[in-house]
Amino acid sequence: MERLIYEGNDLAAQANKLEVEAHDSYNVDKYKEAQEKYAQAAEKYHKAMGQIDSEEVKSMLRERVSEAIRRAEKIKSWLEQNEKKLKTKERHDKRSNGSSKKASAKKTSSAEPSATSEKEAAALDANGLQKSQDGEEQKDGATAADQPGERENKKVEDPEKEKYRKALASAIVQEKPNVKWDDVAGLEGAKSALKEAVILPIKFPELFTGKREPWRGILLYGPPGTGKSFLAKAVATEADSQFFSVSSADLISKWQGESEKLVRELFKMARENKPSIIFIDEIDSLASSRSDQESESARRVKTEFLIQMQGVGNDSGGVLVLGATNIPWGLDSAIRRRFEKRVYIPLPDERARGRMFEVHLGPTLHSLTSQDFIELGKKSDGYSGSDINNVVRDAIMQPVRTLQNAQFFTAEMVTDEKTGEQVEKWKPCSPGEPNAVQKTLHDVPSGRLVVPGITRFDFDKALMSVRPSVSDEDIALHIKFTEDFGQEGN
């Protein structure tokens, strides 16, 4: 249970303090005390709601009231069901203490052996509880596993904790992705903000002392396919820290009440592994604007996320929350404020587009020049990084289509790359070419085909068939959001 800060409201702060104390009491088996403090916390939270105007804070307090009442009632129910066992334990404790005092007195006054035989003493444990022959403690027929306290907590809570950790295990990137800053074309503003928030505090902690603190939450927003997730991979590569890459789908569970527990466990794992980065893709699915139509479960998830984000901000540091979304205007306003830095990832500019064509083409055999890539950058205005990747993939397939449609082939002797020997291979040609043989691709023996390289003409054809996926209306909405809440990432 983390202590939260409710500025300007003493009642809410007192309630939060009581809730923390109740949690601590529960952990040391003081169940009655925990139940009373949870009930007191709920009452103070409820009174605080009447003193606050903000609907956002009221909603958070309403969730705390429900949670405190739920815990108080759960503990009360358990106490009523186990009242007999607790009284039995109390009698055993008193009897054990009395026996110890008598034994001590006898030892002091006389050297005579104790009235309790060795066999009887062996049957009593340190708490004076009768043991069965197999050594298992018993109280009125109940086994040790039925008793309140640490053993019960381990049997009940640890499997639950393990369950959520297993659910999140697939979300953790165990090995850093191999994406360098140079692999990200353009976006200098976004890279600078991420270096400032992640890389510099790790490499030069002496820079961030006193009031100079790194950002705790950064939101990357922009049209689909502009490289938000790619940037996050670059951060994971460059930063020497634990990286938690999670999509909203990983945190949304089909069982009611599970999602907020996953959120809580995710942040707990991140704090245990500091320095760490939590990257949540499509965060709008998890933290959209509140409405009257949304379910109680969805509200609880948002509230838990707000609490955890606030906990990160008030922590000693070492945890960065990195969010990505295509629709930032759909985010809950409270969660938007938790992201202190909001960076717009726009469509790539002309220079970045030319570089993307070159990067996506990679080692594939081609005949394009540097000037060709510059011209392709000019011709692809309005294309996102994802669109350019699709153009390159389409261009790479053009030679395959040419081979499939070819009706004539000609043979030539080429050097085999593996053996170094001269072998006969076939390439497509026009019908009028000397030595042209009429055949189709499927008539060419396997391993005897000359694969054509990619040409500029292939890219021109691909640009005609693959159109941009981002509309002008989408861009206008992002620009408006940037003017109101964000900053440019270029």
Q: What is the fold, at CATH topology level, of the domain defined by 350-469? A: Helicase, Ruva Protein; domain 3 (1.10.8)
pLDDT tens-digit readout, 42-90 = 888 888 887 877 777 777 788 888 888 888 888 888 887 777 666 666 6
**b/e for 149-162, b at 16 or more Cβ within 10 A?**
eeebeeeeeeeeee
Q: Which residues, 6 or more positions from 253, have their beta carbon under 8 angstroms from its beta carbon?
A: 167, 259, 262
The pLDDT tens digits of the residues spanning 246-304 come to 877 766 654 555 777 788 888 888 888 888 888 888 888 877 776 666 667 777 788 88
pLDDT in tens, the chain (490 residues): 444 545 456 788 888 888 888 888 887 788 888 888 888 888 888 888 878 777 777 777 888 888 888 888 888 888 877 776 666 666 666 666 655 555 554 444 444 434 333 433 333 333 333 333 344 334 333 333 333 444 344 444 456 667 666 666 665 655 567 888 888 888 888 888 888 878 888 888 899 888 888 888 899 999 999 989 888 888 878 887 778 888 777 666 545 557 777 888 888 888 888 888 888 888 888 777 766 666 677 777 888 888 888 764 445 577 888 999 999 998 988 888 889 889 999 999 999 999 999 999 999 999 999 999 999 999 999 999 999 999 999 999 999 999 999 999 999 998 887 888 899 999 999 999 989 999 999 999 988 999 899 999 999 999 999 999 999 999 999 999 999 887 766 6
How many whole angstroms separate alpha carbon 87 and alpha carbon 333?
Answer: 51
Tally of CB atoms within 10 A around 121: 11
Give residues with Cβ within 8 angstroms of 378, minimum separation 6: 350, 354
Q: Report domain extents, the chain.
A: 10-83, 172-347, 350-469
Query: Backbone phi, then psi, for 18, in 5-degree steps?
Result: -60, -40
Cα-based distances in Å from 212 to 209, 215, 239, 274:
6, 10, 20, 19
CA dihedral 241, 247, 251, 252 (to 10 degrees): 180
Cα–Cα dist 441/249, whole Å: 44
Using CA atoms, how far apart are residues 416 and 10, in angstroms rounded to an integer? Answer: 81
- Amino acid 325: pLDDT: 93
Max CA distance (Å), the chain: 124
Contacts 24+ apart (CB under 8 A), 475-483: 475/223, 475/346, 475/347, 477/329, 478/221, 478/222, 478/223, 478/328, 478/344, 478/346, 481/221, 481/328, 481/329, 481/344, 482/344
DSSP state of 175: S
Token pair, residue 229, equals 């997730």
Residue matched to tokens 């054809």:
461
Half-sphere exposure of 134 (CA within 13 A, CB side): 4
The predicted pLDDT at position 91 comes to 66
Q: 449, 411 in Cβ contact below 8 A?
A: no
pLDDT for 13 equals 80
Its CATH architecture, for the domain 10-83, is Up-down Bundle (1.20)
* 51 contacts: CB under 8 Å, gap ≥ 6: 9, 11
CATH topology of domain 172-347: Rossmann fold (3.40.50)
| CA 423 vs CA 400, 417, 426, 442: distances in Å | 22, 10, 10, 19
8 Å CB contact between 426 and 342 = no
Distance, CA of 98 to CA of 100 (rounded, Å): 5
What kind and span of H or E run contains 336? helix 333-338
